Structure 1
Amino acid sequence: MSAHSATILTRPSAEGGARVRALAPALGAEITGLDLAAGVTPEAVALVLESLHRYGVVVVRDQHLTPEEQLGFMGRLGPVKTSSYSRANAFCVPGYPDMMVISNIVENGRNIGLMDAGAMWHADGTHMARPDMYTALYALEVPQRDGKPLGDTLFASTAEAYDALPDALRERVTGRRAVHSFAHHIEKKRRLGDLRRPPLTEAQKAELPDVEHPVVARHPVTGRRTLFVTEGHTARIAGLAPEESDALLEELWAHIRRPEFIYRHSWRVGDLLIWDNRATQHLAIFDYGELRRRMHRVETIGPVPE
């Protein structure tokens, strides 16, 4: 982590026997000894938020959560996001329209959840005027081969990436804005052969217009500057010719993906993985084929990026 970042937590927390341990140099931490199903205290919420803002991504281990409990906990972190796109495509947990199923499982001839989530580096909801603030993914089924878990998720710290920008590149992007587009995202998936969901309807396109956000955004809580352009949803940099925009975006994406900014999460059943969507990007690894994988996702809405 950058020198000005908060000191790494290795001490016992104020929340009973819970402990926080850093997992990688740039980002990532685990919390053990916290039982969210037993009741969410103000101290538990404060511990998770403090850890998120220090480490970007936090895994709370060994949870046994009902959908109500996961939704209730995320509601303590912020307003829970409602997704008309998820509802229209029947990707929700039955009876819980604000909770999306992320899964490759097919039952009765249909996918029970979203099968291609995370195929490109992205941050959740950047195609919206108010992108997601926090996302929580709860692991119910984790595929394994020869005793090794599959389907890892990679995270990159966009705050650390910004801090490490060369001066010339920082000057080129300061003050610029970029266009984020869900239609672009879906079309890019199709071109790459990664699309495993229905195409957008005209009604969905109308509900999800393109938006502009700053290329360099300030985190709404910590105040740190972050790079806010993603391989998955950023279509172009406003005001630049297409060739110049494409080249600059590729340079920024390659910088964000540098190994020193990465944490790779290896899943366990019972992991509640929460990430700060305004300070990170992530990528799913599809190495499990037809082996069953099932997760429940809940997101909170954040402010307009500045």
Structure 2
Amino acid sequence: MLELVPLAEGVGTEIRGIDVTGDISDREFDRIHQAWMDTAVLLFRDQKMTPEQHIAFTRRFGEVFAYTRSQFNDVEYPEILLLSNLTRDGKPIGSAYSGRVWHTDGHYLTTPPVGSMLYAIEVPPVGGDTWYANMYAAYEALPQRVKDRIENLRVVISRVQSRPYNYPDRPAPTEQERAEWVDVSHPVVRRHDVTGRKTLYVGGNVPWRIEGMSEEESAPLVTFLQEFSVQPQFTYCHKWRPGDIVLWDNRSAMHRATYYDHVAHRRLLHRTTIAAGRPAAA
């Protein structure tokens, strides 16, 4: 029997009593989809999916696409991105570590993906957790004077600017990367296209520039919003178990990964990405 259980006070729902590879009725799926819209993150425990089933289940939530790191896409199923420290013929099959700062997937794209689904196959005994933050709740908790100040602002997302913050161990962007990595701007306050609720969209640890503001003015504002939005009352830390599936809404949630010992332990997760979602149930 389908059961919806809150994950934390501020974010997420665990979906119980269902096999995601089985026959999920439209009525049951509407309840699941609405919980995703309402709480930003869904957890399904003790599941087992083939790549085909993973892609098919993702498609119930919207259009599936691959947009990044093609070298780590599954060879037979390019819709699946491999997050792993495993190797094949001496070469890594996936990304061993990434996303260890707060972020929203694809925020450097003009039209970011609406969601991501991560399926755990092998996980380390310690570490490798994922934190999620509810951007609905963060926005709604802001003082009214701050809401008024940021209502019509736009934040500039720059991959060039983010490099030393997100990957300090990597060299500076090349001239080719600088040419290819075009800055994009997004509203600081986004209205969710399905729910109509307002969310914050200033993810990460980078003091992004606000259009029309000097760096001296925009950096403190962006930093305040970023730090405000990841307070404990807005967050949930997921400790992975094999068979877990987590689906998050990139329009209303941020996330970040935590460290694990990639030398001592094995890790393999499959991720799919949703380009455009289905509308909420009527």
Q: TM-score, normalised by structure 2?
A: 0.90
Percentage identity across paired residues of the two chains: 35
1:178 to 155, 160, 176: 155
- Supply the distance in 1 between the matched residues of 2:146 and 2:239 (Cα, whole angstroms): 33
Q: Deviations over 1:79-122 (max 9, x none)?
A: 11232x321xx111121112101112233332211223221101
2:199 to 223, 226, 233: 226
Counterparts of 1:1-40 in structure 2, within 5 Å, are 17-40=1-24
Residue 63 of structure 2: aligned partner:
79
Residue 208 of structure 2: aligned partner:
235
Residue 138 of structure 1: aligned partner:
119
Report the RMSD for the aligned CA atoms in angstroms.
2.2
Sort the Cα spacing of 1:43 and 1:181 in 2 relative to 1 into closer, same or farther, 3 A.
Answer: farther
Q: Deviations over 1:137-175 (max 9, x none)?
A: 00000110xxxx431111111110001111232222110
Q: Could you tell me whether the CA contact under 8 Å between 2:65 and 2:275 is conserved in 1?
A: yes
Amino acid at match of 2:272: V
Sort the Cα spacing of 1:269 and 1:231 in 2 relative to 1 into closer, same or farther, 3 A.
Answer: same
Q: Could you tell me whether the CA contact under 8 Å between 1:57 and 1:275 is conserved in 2?
A: yes
Amino acid at match of 1:56: A
Residue 293 of structure 1: aligned partner:
267
Range moving further from structure 2, 168-177 or 252-261: 168-177
For structure 2, list consecutive stretches of 5 or more residues without a partner in the other structure.
278-282
Residue 249 of structure 1: aligned partner:
222
What SS does the corresponding residue of 1:179 show, helix, strand or coil? strand
For these two proteins, the number of residue pairs brought into alignment is 276
Spell out structure 1 runs of 4+ moving beyond 4 A. Answer: 198-208
How far off is 1:264 after superposition?
0.9
Sort the Cα spacing of 1:170 and 1:200 in 2 relative to 1 into closer, same or farther, 3 A.
Answer: same
- Supply the distance in 2 between the matched residues of 1:209 and 1:59 (Cα, whole angstroms): 35
What SS does the corresponding residue of 2:69 show, helix, strand or coil? helix
Residue 123 of structure 1: aligned partner:
104
1:158 to 135, 151, 170: 135
Residue 61 of structure 1: aligned partner:
45
- Supply the distance in 1 between the matched residues of 2:26 and 2:175 (Cα, whole angstroms): 44
- Supply the distance in 2 between the matched residues of 1:244 and 1:37 (Cα, whole angstroms): 51
How far off is 1:35 after superposition?
0.9
- Supply the distance in 2 between the matched residues of 1:188 and 1:302 (Cα, whole angstroms): 29
Amino acid at match of 1:134: G
